[in-house]
Amino acid sequence: MPTVREAALDVMRRHDLTTVFANPGSTEVPFLAGLPDDIRFVLALHEGSVVGAATGYALARGAPALALLHTTAGLGNAVGALSTARVNRAPLVVIVGQQDRRHLVQEPFLAGRLEQLAGDYPVRTETPPRAQDVPGAIARAAHAARTMRGPALVVVPMDDWARPAEELPLPAPGRLCLPAAADAGDVREVAALLDAAAAPALVVGAAADHPVTWEALTLLAERLGCPVWQESFGARAGFPQDHRLFAGHLPADRTRLRETLGPYDLVLSVGAPVFRQYPYEEGPLVRPGTRLAVVTDDPAEAHRAPVELAVVAALPAFCTALAETALAETADRTRGRAAGADDGSDAPAPAGRRPEPPQPPGHGEPLRAAHVLAELARRLPAETVLVEETPSSRPDLHALVPARRPLGFLSAAMGALGFALPAAIGVRMGAPERPVVAVVGDGSSLYQIQALWTAVRYRVGVVFIVLANGRYAIMDRLADRHEDTAPWPGFEEVSVSGMAKALGCSARRVSGHAELLSELDTLLPELPDSTRPLVLEVAVEADETFQP
């Protein structure tokens, strides 16, 4: 009779959960000791890095990844990263170790009250009632992670692994198939809204980040001749941002949002909420006369959308059918808003016009983040995955560095810091054919700096560009808006490159424009084949303005 551990490993193999991201503790040793050769173990030095790397790995592969956490301390340390995984809709199976089942009633040392510790962020949490139910719980977690697009937790007491398994009927489907076809009636209803609009616009979001969806939305936008906006604070790009119809990123306050969307009589959001905001402002989202509709694969997103029509659908199939319907309905018409034409309406020209990159700093002038990002944009291969976590420089990054391929941009949808370093490592491990660059603020980097050790240990070739201004610059600007003094100091003494070296990662610090160009010209051509992580800490002057 096989053990529960052996049966669980078979379930993991069936669900392609053969890479285990972990920071182990004693309650996990009975599972981890003597892992079979076909199970890869990836060590991270903090649970935030464990879940962050697993999140990047899952998003890069489009399939669930496996993380292992150590009872209360491990799960508690990982809750912020789990919340990011949920909002980023990353499918994760998370096994959480628990004390020995035989004396849990006495609450022994390291026993955890685990089921509610992560709150509502897991899409599913299960503590199997018997040891023999553990393999089935892992299978159910894999299905839940895939279908509900988030972390699914299984709490496993440490003695369960050695128990004999049972020969029982399958406790979960061996395979779970989801409908992928588009409902023809829903497609026609959305197509009719677009056909009736004189000045439509599209808003795209992270859920549209798929090759088929990109292709279909590009075809649709070109047929309509309409602008395409990216959702504010988007975790991924939903449309090629170097396309002439890409209009930019939506502002995150209602005043500017109404102004931006005012010229359009229909705004269709695809794979994005309607609409993500940051500072609260009174008033409606859009002006009277602007109709709103949303197509999403997230039922919760549809339920809370203040729109005339909400459709829940598999986006690649739906967008393909919508583009084909739009083509058929407009084939015999001459439309004033066809690509490049001017119909005399008040709608702005749809062509995406990126701002001119800043001039290099003059003699004695400091580097700014925009200088670094402009030079990076000139050199990045189109297939690069750029992982972002630089809040005060995000507007410059969006303006200067377009996502040109699916999965070209990745950020933390939750806004919690500590995502970019481990996520970039996981992305490169999950998609080794893609070059990966992380652009991170120095304050952000400190939340999971220990992730660099994992990159070194497993030879993950990522370039981490740290924009170092020695301040929490975005917080300083927000304090300025309140016209008051910030109580927090700067941290100019902190050397990110020094910490990287202490963790075994190659690192260099530059402060001048010529040095920057030399480093980028050396590093970026090597990036596609690199197995050597490197931190490039760039000293920059903090910008004095910030507009989310």
Domain limits of the chain?
A: 4-162, 184-330, 369-539
Q: Which residue has the higher pLDDT, 487 or 54?
A: 54
Closest to 47 measured CA to CA, from 450, 346, 380, 540: 450
Provide the pLDDT confidence category of residue 335 given band limits of 50, 70 and 90: very low
- Helix 71-87 × helix 47-61 angle, to 10°: 40
pLDDT in tens, 207-249: 999 999 999 999 999 999 999 999 999 899 999 999 999 999 9
Report phi then psi at 95, rounded to 5: -95, 125
DSSP conformation class of 240: -
What pLDDT, on the 0 to 100 scale, is given for residue 536? 97
Q: Which amino acid is at 216?
A: A
What pLDDT, on the 0 to 100 scale, is given for residue 278? 82
Residue pair 25/74 in contact (Cβ under 8 Å)? The answer is yes
What pLDDT, on the 0 to 100 scale, is given for residue 345? 43
Q: How far lies 492's CA from each of 6, 366, 508, in Å?
A: 52, 15, 16
Mean pLDDT over each residue of the chain, to the nearest integer: 89
Q: How is residue 490 written in tokens?
A: 């700067």
Domains 4-162 and 369-539 share a fold: yes
Q: How far lies 174's CA from each of 18, 131, 426, 541, in Å?
A: 17, 20, 27, 56
361: which residues sit within 8 A by CB, 6+ positions away? 367, 368, 371, 513
pLDDT in tens, 344-359: 344 444 445 567 778 7
What pLDDT, on the 0 to 100 scale, is given for residue 282? 85
What pLDDT, on the 0 to 100 scale, is given for residue 175? 78
Query: Is 3.90.1150.10 the CATH number for 184-330?
Result: no
How many angstroms separate the CA atoms of 10 and 14, rounded? 6
How many angstroms separate the CA atoms of 228 and 244, rounded? 9
How many CB atoms lie under 10 A from the CB of residue 357? 16
Per-residue pLDDT, averaged over 52-66, amounts to: 97
Q: How is residue 40 written in tokens?
A: 């890869």
Per-residue pLDDT, averaged over 494-502, amounts to: 95
Closest to 4 measured CA to CA, from 171, 174, 176, 173: 171
Q: How is residue 524 written in tokens?
A: 């970026």
What pLDDT, on the 0 to 100 scale, is given for residue 366? 83
pLDDT in tens, 270-282: 999 998 888 788 8
The pTM assigned to this predicted structure is: 0.91
Query: Is 3.90.120.10 the CATH number for 369-539?
Result: no
pLDDT at residue 316 greater than cutoff 90: yes
What pLDDT, on the 0 to 100 scale, is given for residue 52? 97
Pick the CATH number of 4-162 from 3.20.20.70, 3.10.20.30, 3.40.50.970, 3.40.50.2300: 3.40.50.970
